[in-house]
Amino acid sequence: MKSDKLGINSLLIHSGEVDDAFGSATVPIYQTSTFKFKSADHGAQCFSGETKGYIYTRIANPTINALEEAVAAIEKGFGGIATSSGMGAVTTVYAAYLSQGQHIVSHNAVYGPARGIMETIFARFGVECTYIDATDIENVRAAIRENTKLIYLETPANPTMGITDISAVCAIAKEKGIPVCVDNTFCSPYLQNPLELGADVALHSMTKFINGHADVVAGMLVTKDEKNYNLLRSTMVNLGFNMDPHQAYLALRGLKTLGIRVERAQQNAEKVAVYLENHPKVEWVKYPGLASHPQFELAKKQMRGPGTMISFEVKGGLNAGKIVMDNVHLSLLAVSLGGVESLIQHPASMTHSKLSKEKRQEAGITDGLIRFSIGIEDVEDIIADLDQALNLV
Ligand code: LCS
């Protein structure tokens, strides 16, 4: 059921329902690779598009479609394209928009492998890239060339929490006819809708907030219009980045509670950020809800809330940070983010370790930066756990 009039929490519960034979309250798992045709003519009509019918799960599947519809509804887009992982979504976007001799402009602190595959794999196919600090719009304007065919943003960026003005970048891109893709993973559609700010594609690692329970790897693309949808869907289908129906079922289940999970984790994060900022052993904290964040005003304008992700550095740099990471017991020392459990990790040696030290430093990913994804535990427990670890420094 789709309706522009419903609030986001109602959409989360009621989008993406399927017509099934028995009136199931939840979306059934259509665990099938292929679908029977009624006749040879029916099969031919399904392939020609004359009849709407399922053919093969790499192309489309009812469980996966339900998830695509639901995420597209809350992301306020034309349609969703589910992928096997967030990186599957990133690769689909690069492959769809970029050809040999063409150029991409991107933020320098995007998720490590999203930059890594561009500088290694896509570079081998002759795609040129420029990584800049997109939080300064003038850098974006200056980086655009004649052959620029994609602007790729991630905001807030992983792990620096830098925030790019999506509307301002889209205005520049529109003048030149360049599509803009925004990785909206750190906000989820609950806190930010890039398509409403002018982007052509919103990208998600659904492994994070949308699924939210650290038990699925998955991705999603939502497009503003049909043209971009058709391009991305055919690229995804033919490259084989499709999701599995069981994966889709789990993500649909997680999606229903996105709103209350984000609200609760965000309340916790606001308190943890203030605690960290006032701690004598903490050098700095980057959290969009703190007035000290360099893009605090932009965050208020572009996001519906400051989110649940915090970056900070302990006085004493990496060695001091290691003491904290080795001594938190409630929060898990693990990569990934956006789940019900608090997760702490060290980007320079983990998620962003494949970038050279030089590139990390240029992007603001210092060796001492610690990334903290705040979960929905009792905030007093999260802070007490952090406190005892910080006291050991
Ligand atoms: N985009 C962002 C912003 C991400 O944080 C990640 C994964 C991806 C895309 C790729 O998604 P995946 O293929 O893993 O579903 N980020 C991770 C992180 O920060 N720690 O572990 C994975």
Among 198, 222, 255, which residue terminates a domain? 255
Residues 213 and 303 in one domain: no
Instruction: Report if residue 1 sits inside a domain.
Output: no
Percent of the chain past pLDDT 90, that is, above it, reads 94
Whether 58 is catalytic: yes
**Average pLDDT of the residues in 6-11:** 94
CB 213 within 8 A of CB 340: yes
Q: Which of 58, 76, 281, 354 is catalytic?
A: 58
For residue 207, which atom of ligand 1 is closest to its CA? 15
Residues 81 and 225 in one domain: yes
Q: Is 87 in the pocket of ligand 1 (CB under 6 A)?
A: yes
- The pLDDT of residue 314: 95
Residues 50 and 193 in one domain: yes
CATH number for the domain that contains residue 214: 3.40.640.10
Is residue 4's pLDDT more than 70?
no
pLDDT band for 3, please (50, 70, 90 cuts). low
pLDDT digits (tens, 9 = 90+) for 96-108: 999 999 999 999 9
Q: Output helix, strand, coil percentages for the chain, rounded to the nearest 5.
A: 40, 15, 45
- The pLDDT of residue 54: 96
pLDDT digits (tens, 9 = 90+) for 72-101: 999 999 999 999 999 999 999 999 999 999
pTM above 0.85, yes or no: yes
- The pLDDT of residue 5: 85
Instruction: Report if residue 2 sits inside a domain.
Output: no
For residue 157, which atom of ligand 1 is closest to its CA? 3
Kindly report the protein residue whose alpha carbon is nearest to atom 18 of ligand 1.
336
Strand order in the sheet with 332-333: 282-286, 309-314, 369-373, 343-345, 332-333
- The pLDDT of residue 11: 94
Kindly report the protein residue whose alpha carbon is nearest to atom 15 of ligand 1.
86
Q: Which of 111, 131, 249, 287 is catalytic?
A: 111
Domain hosting 359: range is 258-390
Say how many domains are in the chain: 2
Nearest Cα to 201, choosing from 102, 93, 304? Answer: 93
* Widest Cα–Cα separation across the chain: 74
Cα–Cα dist 14/307, whole Å? 24
- The pLDDT of residue 2: 53
Tell me the backbone φ, ψ of residue 280, rounded to 5 degrees. Answer: -65, -20
Whether 367 is catalytic: no
Mutate to test the pocket of ligand 1, among 207, 216, 220 (most ligand atoms within 8 A of CB): 207
Element housing 154 (H / E): strand 148-154
Kindly report the protein residue whose alpha carbon is nearest to atom 5 of ligand 1.
111
**Average pLDDT of the residues in 254-264:** 98
pLDDT band for 18, please (50, 70, 90 cuts). confident
The stretches of 157-196 forming alpha helices (DSSP H) are 166-176
pLDDT band for 16, please (50, 70, 90 cuts). confident
- The pLDDT of residue 9: 95
pLDDT digits (tens, 9 = 90+) for 359-373: 999 989 999 999 999
Instruction: Report if residue 349 sits inside a domain.
Output: yes
Q: Is 84 in the pocket of ligand 1 (CB under 6 A)?
A: no
Residues 209 and 289 in one domain: no
Residues near 50 by beta carbon (within 8 Å), at least 6 away in sequence: none
CATH number for the domain that contains residue 266: 3.90.1150.10
CA 109 to mean position of chain CA atoms: 14
Among 226, 255, 284, which residue terminates a domain? 255
Is residue 270's pLDDT more than 90?
yes
| Residue type, position 46, single letter | C
CB 341 within 8 A of CB 377: yes
Residues 196 and 334 in one domain: no
CB 371 within 8 A of CB 130: no
Among 221, 255, 289, which residue terminates a domain? 255
Whether 301 is catalytic: no
Residues 87 and 164 in one domain: yes
Residues 244 and 262 in one domain: no
Residues 38 and 156 in one domain: yes
Instruction: Report if residue 244 sits inside a domain.
Output: yes
Nearest Cα to 20, choosing from 30, 35, 11? Answer: 30
Q: Is 350 in the pocket of ligand 1 (CB under 6 A)?
A: no
Instruction: Report if residue 66 sits inside a domain.
Output: yes
CB 214 within 8 A of CB 339: yes
